């Protein structure tokens, strides 16, 4: 999801005096966590192809799938240093640099994808873009991954079912607090290492969106999917500040426009993947369950609202997002 404000802000991120010769070829290494046929990678092939049409010969993309450059935290660090020039990253993974990204990860705030997109298109999104830019990320568009669901080895439909169990979480204070509020034992593990951690019993369960669950083959080790939809996951299509400053104003504008189309392409692909991934996992033995006692799930989430609110702009801000 890209707005005109995002295109304008991104273009203004480079000082006019630093503009290079327009004919220079720029090399980009782009990191993707998933395979070449997954939306997380296809977003970049789409952007690459658009730029080849609109600025032929200006960009040389090296798109690296399947996470050989590390998980999101490692890729984020590389992006800030400029050794990786582009990636698609979840806002949750960026919380180590910009704690405020957690505000859109608040559990049981968003009703659906459209609700999340409305909030990101307004002042909350503007604030996050500004803070990410301060940390040397150039956010060129928001994307929506879908709802995070609970993944377990045996059916767990009520919050008491996670009590005392080890759950893999991303490296985010919010996610840690959420599962601790239900009595679980949160264990941060990078996503590329999660399959083996689940298979070996280091952790018992985790949460993730349906397309990513299928993409990482996690249904093979946690085949029970409980549709809690407790967090709607968002991300950014980002490039490094170092790379962005090598572009002149025209190149920035066209790159940002291509990225806008790429982000819309990603959102469309993810919608398709939600259905096809769930169908495929079911044929391979996964089982899907409805969450029970939603009030209890929401009560645990409300504890997280209260504890995190002082760090994320106050309870009024969270409640305003919930009512948007």
Average pLDDT (9-17) is 45
The CA-atom distances, in angstroms, between 7 and each of 131, 195, 233, 279, 290 are 16, 38, 22, 37, 40
Separate counts of helices (H) and strands (E) for the chain: 12, 9
Number of other residues whose CB lies within 10 A of the CB of residue 242: 15
pLDDT reading at 5 higher than 90: no
pLDDT by residue (tens digit) across 306-321? 999 999 999 999 999 9
pLDDT by residue (tens digit) across 87-140? 999 999 999 999 999 999 999 999 999 999 999 999 999 999 999 999 999 999
Q: Are 183 and 162 in contact (CB under 8 A)?
A: yes
Say what the pLDDT of residue 202 is. Answer: 98
pLDDT reading at 267 higher than 70: yes
Of residues 257 and 3, the one with the higher pLDDT is 257
Residue 7 binned pLDDT confidence (cut-offs 50, 70, 90): low
Residue 32 binned pLDDT confidence (cut-offs 50, 70, 90): very high
Report the distance separating Cα 16 and Cα 302, nearest Å. Answer: 47
Say what the pLDDT of residue 4 is. Answer: 52
22-26, 72-76, 284-288: segment of lowest average pLDDT: 22-26
Say what the pLDDT of residue 9 is. Answer: 56
Residue 2 binned pLDDT confidence (cut-offs 50, 70, 90): low
Number of domains in the chain: 1
Residue spans of beta strands (DSSP E) within the chain: 26-31, 59-64, 86-90, 137-152, 166-169, 185-188, 205-208, 224-240, 287-290
Number of other residues whose CB lies within 10 A of the CB of residue 174: 23
Average pLDDT (231-240) is 97
Q: How far apart are the first and last CA of the chain?
A: 17
CATH number of 44's domain: 3.40.190.170
Say what the pLDDT of residue 118 is. Answer: 95
pLDDT reading at 263 higher than 50: yes
Q: Are 90 and 234 in contact (CB under 8 A)?
A: yes
Residue 171 binned pLDDT confidence (cut-offs 50, 70, 90): confident
pLDDT reading at 15 higher than 60: no
Residue 18 binned pLDDT confidence (cut-offs 50, 70, 90): very low
pLDDT reading at 17 higher than 80: no
Angle at 75 between CA 30 and CA 9, to 5 degrees: 70
Say what the pLDDT of residue 81 is. Answer: 96
Domain that holds residue 89: 4-322
Say what the pLDDT of residue 19 is. Answer: 40
What is the overall mean pLDDT for the chain?
93
The helix (run of H) or strand (run of E) holding residue 59 is: strand 59-64
Say what the pLDDT of residue 21 is. Answer: 45
């Amino acid at each position: 999801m890209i707005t005109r404000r995002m295109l304008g802000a991104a273009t203004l991120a480079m000082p006019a005096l630093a503009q290079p010769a327009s004919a220079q070829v720029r090399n980009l290494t782009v990191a993707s966590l998933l395979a070449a046929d997954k939306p997380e990678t296809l977003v970049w092939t789409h952007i690459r192809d658009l730029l080849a049409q609109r600025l032929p010969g200006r960009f040389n993309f090296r798109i690296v799938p399947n996470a050989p450059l590390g998980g999101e935290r490692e890729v984020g660090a590389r992006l800030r240093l400029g050794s990786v020039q582009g990636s698609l990253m979840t806002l949750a993974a960026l919380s180590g640099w910009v704690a405020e990204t957690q505000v859109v990860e608040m559990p049981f705030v968003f009703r659906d994808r459209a609700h999340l997109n409305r909030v990101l298109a307004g002042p909350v999104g503007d604030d996050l873009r500004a803070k990410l830019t301060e940390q040397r990320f150039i956010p060129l568009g928001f994307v929506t991954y879908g709802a995070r669901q609970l993944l377990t080895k045996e059916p767990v439909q009520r919050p008491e079912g996670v009590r005392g169990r080890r759950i893999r979480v991303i490296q985010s204070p919010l996610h840690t607090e959420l599962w601790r509020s239900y009595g679980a034992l949160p264990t941060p593990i990078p996503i590329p290492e999660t399959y083996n951690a689940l298979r070996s019993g280091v952790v018992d369960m985790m949460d993730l969106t349906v397309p990513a669950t299928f993409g990482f083959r996690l249904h093979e080790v946690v085949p029970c999917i409980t549709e809690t939809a407790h967090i709607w996951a968002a991300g950014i299509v980002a490039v490094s500040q170092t790379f962005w400053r090598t572009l002149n104003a025209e190149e920035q504008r066209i790159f940002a426009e291509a990225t806008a189309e790429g982000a819309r392409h990603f959102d469309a692909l993810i919608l398709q993947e939600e259905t096809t991934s769930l169908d495929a996992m079911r044929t391979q033995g996964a089982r899907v369950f409805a969450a029970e006692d939603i009030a209890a799930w929401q009560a645990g989430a409300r504890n997280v609202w209260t504890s995190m609110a002082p760090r994320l702009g106050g309870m009024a801000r969270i409640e305003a997002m919930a009512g948007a």
